Amino acid sequence: MMTPPLSAAIVFALLLLAPLALAGLALVNAGLGRSRSAAQSLLGSLAIMAAAFIAFAGVGACFAGPDGALSFNLAGKSWNWLGTAPVLLLHLARSPIESQLGVLFECLAAALVSIIPWGAGADRLRLAAGWAIAALMGALGFPVLAHWVWGAGWIGQLGANFGLGAGFLDPAGGATVHVLGGAGALAVVWIAGPRRGKFPKEGLATAMPAHNATFVLAGCMIAVVGWLAFNCAGALLWLHADLNGLVITALNTLLAAAGALGATLVVTWIRFGKPDASLCANGWLAGLVTSSASAALIPPAAALFTGVVMGIATPLLVEFLELALSIDDPAGAISVHFAGGLWGVFVAGVFAPQKGQLLAQLAGMAAVVGVFLPTVYFAFKLLDRFIPLRVDPDGERIGMDLHELGGGAYPEFVIHRDESYR
């Protein structure tokens, strides 16, 4: 194990790179949407980050940390379920450096959770609604789960209390960030409904292709740096990994993404005759999401295998959700984050050396999906009554840029008829 000051310095340096994951996702979301919503999408991502940072620092951090935890006793075990640290980070300056770095990690992760539903609601989710969702996730949803997993909460203590391996392991947020964000994406899509003209009265779903593949693919390249930072920082912070572990974590992150991209490339090539850029980007991101839970825990060959499986599944899932289940998710957030996160958490249990680790991972998955998906849905449904998630039909017709910002992202573009309105 490294000496604490060196370890802390490395974690701090890594966390300074972690916002690149947010920047990458913001670019991917903007590129996958339509040209008339591009500026609103990118400004929304920035506003969401701001709201999540403020909400987490102001309120969320007091629930997320291990300090002053609320717990109850059941069956002779202590069930630690909520932190009660002072609000507005008043205690932070006196905390040890590890705790401070944990708060910084979680603050960035809160923004990542909040930005995922924004991509799913592209082209119809209002800026105010995105802001409110980020505030809700940053202040309440994410901090509770973060406490359960990273703040000495009951899921993280499954090993000590019930002999299940080392407890639920999720070093960079496969479930804590991505499954929760994916649940938020599903809730947004269900509440806001599909884009106008996406599912016409007759015939198949209308294709609404990404307006800027360059944004999407460049976003993927930027995101990988952020993911490397998140995964390595998570391994150091939550698993206390040593330097060897760090290098393998980074390699596993790259292998999972590479395996996923290669598999998606082949699948789309076979299915459509040519590789599909948007789906390949989704595959790459799904591989990265898979690595969030597993990269620090599994061997490199397993990371490659995990990525390949996710790369095969992602384009099929995106198509299945759209065509069979009438779910309009322009960014593929549900397939990438919800499914990818769950797969990563499961794989971490399968390949972990500790006895009982798989059961700990399954129990953690049951907690995250069974509690947070319904809670997030009902919270967003309630929010929708006060701040409508969806823009009015006229606003959707003219585009989110003109409607919400008063100007487009590409003012020199020639406006043409919209073929999607049938």
Partner 1 sequence: MKYAGLLVMPTGFFLAVAALVLFPDPGRRGAFVVCGLLVEALGVAVAVRGHMLDAREARR
Contact set with partner 1 (CB under 8 A): 74-75, 77, 158, 162, 164, 190, 193-194, 199-201, 325-327, 356, 359, 362-363, 365-367, 369-371, 373-374, 377-378
Alpha-helix runs per DSSP H in 295-339: 300-319, 333
Residue 90: CB atoms within 10 A of its CB come to 11
Nearest approach, Cβ of 308 to partner 1 (angstroms)? Answer: 24
Give me the residues paired with residue 125 across strands: 390
Q: Return the biggest CA–CA distance within the chain.
A: 69
What's the Cα-to-Cα distance from 98 to each of 113, 159, 211, 291, 318, rounded to whole Å? 22, 22, 43, 23, 39
**Burial (CB count within 10 angstroms: exposed 0-12, middle 13-18, buried 19+), residue 370:** exposed
Nearer to partner 1, 54 or 350 (CB): 350
User: Phi and psi dihedrals of 72, rounded to 5?
Assistant: -135, 160
Nearest approach, Cβ of 367 to partner 1 (angstroms)? Answer: 6
Nearest approach, Cβ of 320 to partner 1 (angstroms)? Answer: 11
Taking the CA atoms of 119, 336, 257 and 8 in sequence, report the sign of the dihedral they define. Answer: positive
Nearest approach, Cβ of 203 to partner 1 (angstroms)? Answer: 11
Nearer to partner 1, 102 or 184 (CB): 184
Q: Which residue has the tokens 């949407």?
A: 33
Segment holding 402, helix H or strand E: none
Q: Is 119 helix (H, G, I), strand (E, B) or coil?
A: helix
Nearer to partner 1, 183 or 302 (CB): 183
Nearest approach, Cβ of 125 to partner 1 (angstroms)? Answer: 17
Nearer to partner 1, 214 or 326 (CB): 326
Q: Is 74 helix (H, G, I), strand (E, B) or coil?
A: strand
Nearer to partner 1, 48 or 376 (CB): 376
Give the rounded distance of the alpha carbon of 60 from its chain centre. Answer: 17
Nearest approach, Cβ of 365 to partner 1 (angstroms)? Answer: 7
Nearest approach, Cβ of 403 to partner 1 (angstroms)? Answer: 22
Contact 85, 65 (CB under 8 A): yes
Nearest approach, Cβ of 399 to partner 1 (angstroms)? Answer: 22
Nearer to partner 1, 94 or 385 (CB): 385
**Burial (CB count within 10 angstroms: exposed 0-12, middle 13-18, buried 19+), residue 288:** buried
Nearer to partner 1, 284 or 338 (CB): 338
Nearest approach, Cβ of 173 to partner 1 (angstroms)? Answer: 20
Structure tokens at 112: 């990542």
Nearer to partner 1, 110 or 158 (CB): 158
Nearer to partner 1, 75 or 414 (CB): 75
Q: Is 110 helix (H, G, I), strand (E, B) or coil?
A: helix
User: Phi and psi dihedrals of 59, rounded to 5?
Assistant: -125, -50
Alpha-carbon span 29 to 278, nearest angstrom: 11
